[in-house]
Amino acid sequence: MEIAILDLTRACAMGASLFAASAVASPDTGTRENTGLKYWQWDEGGISVLIEQRLPDQTRAFFLARGFTSEAANVIGDGCVFKMDVRNPAATGSVIEYDLTQWQVIVDDEREPMMLKDQWDEKWRAMDLPSPPRIAFRWALLPIRQKLNPGDYNWGMSAFGFPAGARFDLEFTWLQNGERRSGTFRDLECAPDVESLETREAEL
């Protein structure tokens, strides 16, 4: 009887451990007080990912200053651009690798890859955008693949091609010390095409 009870206790402990390893985390989300823009923050599985809205006018101004035509700046400004920050928060030991080609955008249960540098570059070539602004655009985006040692991070823009106010999920994957992990940002929202709180307050 004692052996049976001990085995049952071990089984329950193992089950709890397995459940914890497969538990689905929920990203932290909120609104920046100074801008009114929304953000989503994931801190689980040895990786930290921040996704933060950018207003269309912010993006238009950024790329106009880097040689974009008004037409091209409007295309990317209307393209649902977020700031994305990926970090390895570990102090020692853990190595993180991500590959944006493996990340999936989900809308109405339909999956598709993210729009990455090459797809956007096709648009710019079709619009006869010169090489210097195209290069500036590629450098502004979050790198497609990266290996992050403890304490390393990188950030950049990611453009999803949806209209202002659109909502979607983003399933993302990474490797932690070679072990594949995944998570999902649910109900990401493209920023509205309005002025920021900072601009409105400055005009008052």
The pTM of the full predicted model, rounded to 2 decimals, is: 0.82
Range 133-138, long-range pairs (CB < 8 A, 24+ positions): 133/63, 133/66, 133/67, 133/68, 133/72, 136/63, 136/66, 136/67, 137/63, 137/66, 137/68, 137/76
Helix axis angle for 70-77 and 117-126, nearest 10°, is: 150
- Taking the chain (204 residues) in runs of 10, the rounded mean pLDDT of each run is 39 36 66 94 95 97 97 97 97 94 96 95 97 97 97 97 96 96 96 71 49
Residue 38 β-bridge partners: 31
Residue given tokens 């020692």 in the structure block: 92
Q: State the pLDDT at residue 96.
A: 96
Q: State the pLDDT at residue 27.
A: 84
Q: State the pLDDT at residue 195.
A: 75
How crowded is the C-beta side of 145, counted as CA atoms within 13 Å? 4
Structural domain boundaries of the chain? Answer: 26-203
Rg (CA), the chain: 21
What tokens appear for 16 in the block?
A: 């709890």
